[in-house]
Amino acid sequence: MTTELIAHMIAKRKGKQMKAAYSRAVLSSKLLKERLNLLGKIGCAVCLLGSTVIVIHSPKEEEVASMADLALKMRDAVFILYVIGVIVVSLFLIVFVAPRYGRSNILVYIAICSVIGSLSVLSVKGLGLAIKESIGGKQQFTNALTWFWLAAVIACVSVQLVYLNKSLDQYNTSMVTPIYYVFFTSFVILASSILYKEWSCLGASDVLGNVIGFLITIIGIFQMQLFRDVNISLRQLRVLLHKPSSNINQFEIMNSATSLVEDAPRRSSQTVYT
């Protein structure tokens, strides 16, 4: 679990994050013997496509030259409101929502990890900048902001690990990985854009691309959640498509639909779903 979180935080390009997320979703099916039905796999691919569109049209990250510049950007009122909002929302989810709905809704634990993860990424960037300047001869370990970033990294990563492990213990890894990637990437882009004011440089086409990518992602998540207990495979779909239409009557269609519904509870008991 630690390697998954660190891989997200230290990846220099979001394309590497997408490949890592897709690889974990595939390997979990092969190595952990976790099964994802055909519609779930399609939903996973749709989520990754939507997030890819967002990454392509998202603003380019601005490089901060010094800790003084970063401290100046942190004083922005919008960024302060975002940090306060993240803390309030996270506490509300942890105290009130997670104990009641965490075991029945996959989005609860993932939302906590993703919202706090946006701050952990910014904290890692700030700490990395402090270390970089210290190596270059400008001592930053006497700067209070460096220790603030270090404390923020420890706190955020600790909370992320706790709730990410809860999510993976409760739900199928093949579902958690793409959804977590989508939410995590979206909130990181949002936090970075607020801190570095990157959205002011976007054109109308990029804004439209981000909206479309977000809608595609929502469709993928909705599909994974809605059809997660439907027992359908590629083999069953091929049989249905190649079967002559004259042999398909209303009685067979009703029997097929009934078998899918009846197999759902049996299938869910064999997986990590709740």
- Tens digits of residue pLDDT in 53-102: 888 887 766 667 788 888 888 899 999 999 999 999 999 999 999 999 99
Q: For position 156, what pLDDT does the model report?
A: 95
Q: Is the dihedral of CA 116, 51, 219, 208 positive or negative?
A: positive
* Pairwise CA distance, residues 3 & 102, whole Å: 23
Confidence of residue 109 (pLDDT cuts 50, 70, 90): very high
Whether residue 9 is predicted with pLDDT greater than 60 in this model: the reply is no
* pTM of the entire predicted model: 0.65
Task: Return all residues near 142 (Cβ < 8 A) that are at least 6 apart.
Answer: none
Distance CA 214, CA 186 (A): 9
CB neighbours of 123 closer than 8 A, spacing ≥ 6?
Answer: 149, 152, 153, 156
pLDDT band at 113 (very low <50, low <70, confident <90, very high): very high
Could you read off the pLDDT of 164-215 as tens digits, one per residue? Answer: 999 999 988 777 877 887 789 889 888 988 888 767 677 888 888 888 988 8
**Chain centroid, CA 241 distance in Å:** 34
For residue 108, what pLDDT is reported? Answer: 95
pLDDT tens per residue, range 15-52: 445 545 555 555 555 665 566 777 777 888 888 888 88
CA torsion, ordered 178, 181, 186, 190, to nearest 10 deg: 170
- How do residues 210-269 score in pLDDT, each as one tens digit? 889 888 988 887 787 777 667 776 677 677 677 655 454 544 544 554 455 455 444 444
Average pLDDT score over residue span 108-119: 95
Nearest residue to 121 (alpha-carbon basis) of 46, 44, 196: 196
| 3-class state of residue 23 by DSSP | helix
Look at the block and give the residue holding tokens 């398909």: 248
